A and B are shown apart, each in its own frame.
Chain A
Amino acid sequence: METMEQGVLGHLMALEREGMGQQDQHESQRLEMLKARAVTLRAKRDQLKHQTDVVKILKDKISTDLPLDDDAAAAGGFTELQKSLLTAWRMQLKDLQRAHHLIGGYDLVECKEGKSVCVSFHTAFEGVYLETYNMELDLTRTVQISRHNIPPSFPLESFAKQILQKDLKAFLQTLSQNLNALAARRRQVCLLKELVGSVEVMESNQLCNILVLMCTAQSESPKAVLCTLEYADLTQCLPTRVRIECEDKTLSQSPQWKKNQSLLLESPAHTAVLTMRRMGSIA
């Protein structure tokens, strides 16, 4: 009645005042509630922190083989905890060892909560570490490669089709072998270009399974000699076949060049070429 006398606008204004007042009230109530909640949460957090610290100390003591002082630990009622921690630790280590044997000693990192693993392949040649390749394997249902940074010219799909489903260890082994050989061959080409300026690389490719070099033979008149190195076995870093071609047939048949041919077959390309230069066969 009272509000109706004041008119519609007055009624609306009264409602507004009521609403605002209630909001303030609600806000201050809520603020108090939140503050109290924050305090309890902080207390709980401190308690949990204390608990985890105790467990951590115990774990560290176990891992560093320090004697566990029974009185301090037992006083807190932690004997049961000690026992269960020790058994759990032992079981975990045994499982880890078995897993390591299963995967052939490669470093596997679990990701996505066990749904996939990531494996890395390190490559090295002549004591120098080269690239590291990584590969993620998806383990849901069947083992599949989900992503990797192996160069695309590498026949990864054919290896995966042949071996991956049957034997993971053999697959990782084959991959490691082939990747190491590829890195080694690539390094040889790099070293050739760096160390030996007089030899020109006429042809090579991403897979480094063929290498054609042009050398200048030292004789009365310098002649161009073409050496073709074929790497038919991709697990090796040495060529399977070496062809020496020259316009002058006598030169390519000479015993010196026969020796050079076997040098190229038996030692890495850059060492062979450096030896040839040192012996004076080429410029």
Chain B
Amino acid sequence: MDAQATSVLNRIIRRIPNKNIENLLKKWNCLSAEQLRALDYTRPKWMIVEHVISFCEENRLNLKHITNLEMIYHIENPDQGTWYACQLAEAQDDAVCVELTQFKEHFKAHLHGVIRHISIKMKKHEDEAVWIRIAWGDNFSKPNHLKPTYVVHHLHTSYVFISNLVAKHKIFLCQALVIATKHGSIKDGHLSTKSLTAMRDLLLRRYQQAFPNEQSRILQDRNTLSSHPCIGKEHSDHEEMRHQMSCEAFGHGPSPKLETAVYRLETRYRGNGNHTLSDREEFFRGVVRFSSSSLLDSLRHCVASGMAEGPVTPLLSAITQRGRNYFVITDKGPGVSSQASAQRA
């Protein structure tokens, strides 16, 4: 095993807590049962790493197997690093007929055509997700396996999730995706999270949405304490309406665990009256950032409890409706997808 393989293996094993290493190695299926039994997971990490390296050398494993291990690890623990969403646009007529083998072939063919040294690995997971691991080299140097890019795509959807991509390789990856999926272009999705699961849940709509039809009326669990039965009676309608409104905007039940939403302001200051600031032509730049351990749950609670006034402002409901968490607000009126009038905020 060469130096790069050992350093990749080293990095993987160091990252995982000792109790999970066993499962990962079992799934990898490259070490024999006796070797697995021989490993003692109570030892310090560096010892475990050395043992595993020696077993790998015994079994004559090479970089390919190690990268496979890394991929398995990432598929099992997808919520690491920062993920970005991109959206494919301008689907051609036969985009719907693209099947997995076709996609794989075209993707690999394109990248191998533009970069001489590149290592691509593709795996299809049970939930229809295609995981791609790319180690980039260039025309002169071998692929760098210590900084691989991971790409996740669900066939026939227009979303691609990317982690760890540097700017210089972005154009090659985008071209390959566009060609392999038979679309016209790809653009930035304005959504970035630490958790791939949250991003996928949000964009692939794997959470429960509420709609204004009669069938989707959300029943509220009555645990509200009211100090006076009359107050409770008067408020019950309003509470129900607020609850319905909050569920329509942010989903019902467990929502995707987004952590942040960022609004960049490029608006002019509108003070009340005759402040000198309002005469300026320049923008009053600012950034509003919402952070939470589960942003959508917090926003939903804000609206349902009456802390935020209804109807829910499109700036906040756009998080779920458009599936993004980065917005630029300018002074132009509503109607453009990423912008909203400053007064509404």
Which residue of chain B has the shortest Cβ distance to A111 in the bound complex?
Answer: B212
Q: Is the CB of B96 within 8 A of A234?
A: yes
Checking B204, B213, B321 against A152 with a beta-carbon cut-off of 8 angstroms, the contacting residue is: B204
Tell me which of B156, B211, B311 has the highest count of chain A C-beta atoms within 10 A of its own C-beta: B211
With A147-B321, A149-B205, A205-B99 as contacts: A109 and B156 at CB distance below 8 Å:
no
Residue B216 is within 8 A (CB to CB) of chain A in the complex: yes
User: Which residues from chain A contact B205 at a C-beta distance below 8 Å?
Assistant: 149, 151-152
Q: How many A-B residue pairs have CB under 8 A?
A: 65
User: Which residues from chain A contact B121 at a C-beta distance below 8 Å?
Assistant: none
Which residue of chain B has the shortest Cβ distance to A107 in the bound complex?
Answer: B213
Residue count of chain B within 8 Å CB distance of chain A:
27
Residue A157 is within 8 A (CB to CB) of chain B in the complex: yes
Q: Is the CB of A118 within 8 A of B212?
A: yes
Residue A104 is within 8 A (CB to CB) of chain B in the complex: no
Residue B214 is within 8 A (CB to CB) of chain A in the complex: yes
Q: Is the CB of A134 within 8 A of B211?
A: yes
Residue count of chain A within 8 Å CB distance of chain B:
27
Q: Is the CB of B213 within 8 A of A120?
A: yes
Q: Is the CB of B216 within 8 A of A206?
A: no
The CA of A157 and the CA of B97, in the complex, are separated in Å by 16
Residue B154 is within 8 A (CB to CB) of chain A in the complex: yes
Q: Is the CB of B157 within 8 A of A152?
A: yes
The CA of A155 and the CA of B209, in the complex, are separated in Å by 20
Q: Is the CB of B215 within 8 A of A120?
A: yes
Q: Scoring A residues 131 to 155 as 1 if CB is less than 8 Å from chain B, else 0, what string do you get?
A: 0101010000100001101011101
Checking B97, B156, B209 against A206 with a beta-carbon cut-off of 8 angstroms, the contacting residue is: B156
Minimum CB–CB distance for A66 against chain B, Å: 27
Q: Is the CB of A132 within 8 A of B215?
A: yes
The CA of A136 and the CA of B212, in the complex, are separated in Å by 9
Q: Is the CB of B211 within 8 A of A207?
A: no
Residue B158 is within 8 A (CB to CB) of chain A in the complex: yes
* Contact residues, B206-244 vs A (CB, 8 A): 209, 211-216
Q: Is the CB of B211 within 8 A of A205?
A: no
User: Which residues from chain A contact B91 at a C-beta distance below 8 Å?
Assistant: 155, 157-158
Residue B100 is within 8 A (CB to CB) of chain A in the complex: yes
User: Which residues from chain A contact B320 at a C-beta distance below 8 Å?
Assistant: 147
Q: Is the CB of A109 within 8 A of B311?
A: no
Which residue of chain A has the shortest Cβ distance to B207 in the bound complex?
Answer: A149
The CA of A232 and the CA of B99, in the complex, are separated in Å by 12
Q: Is the CB of B159 within 8 A of A152?
A: yes
Residue A209 is within 8 A (CB to CB) of chain B in the complex: yes
Which residue of chain A has the shortest Cβ distance to B335 in the bound complex?
Answer: A141
* Contact residues, A196-214 vs B (CB, 8 A): 203, 205-207, 209-210
Q: Is the CB of B96 within 8 A of A152?
A: no
The CA of A147 and the CA of B155, in the complex, are separated in Å by 21
Q: Is the CB of B213 within 8 A of A134?
A: yes
Minimum CB–CB distance for A202 against chain B, Å: 11
The CA of A157 and the CA of B91, in the complex, are separated in Å by 9
Residue A94 is within 8 A (CB to CB) of chain B in the complex: no
Minimum CB–CB distance for A130 against chain B, Å: 14
Q: Is the CB of A109 within 8 A of B157?
A: no
Q: Is the CB of A153 within 8 A of B213?
A: no
Q: Is the CB of A205 within 8 A of B213?
A: no
Residue B296 is within 8 A (CB to CB) of chain A in the complex: no
With A112-B311, A205-B100, A209-B97 as contacts: A146 and B321 at CB distance below 8 Å:
yes
Minimum CB–CB distance for B182 against chain A, Å: 12
Minimum CB–CB distance for A117 against chain B, Å: 9
19 pairs of residues in contact across A and B, judged by CB atoms under 8 Å: A109-B214, A111-B212, A112-B311, A118-B211, A120-B213, A132-B215, A134-B209, A141-B335, A149-B205, A152-B158, A152-B204, A152-B205, A155-B96, A203-B100, A206-B154, A207-B96, A207-B156, A209-B97, A232-B97
Given contacts A118-B213, A206-B156, A232-B97, 12 further A-B contacts (CB under 8 A): A107-B213, A112-B311, A134-B213, A134-B216, A147-B209, A152-B154, A152-B205, A153-B154, A155-B95, A155-B156, A203-B100, A205-B100
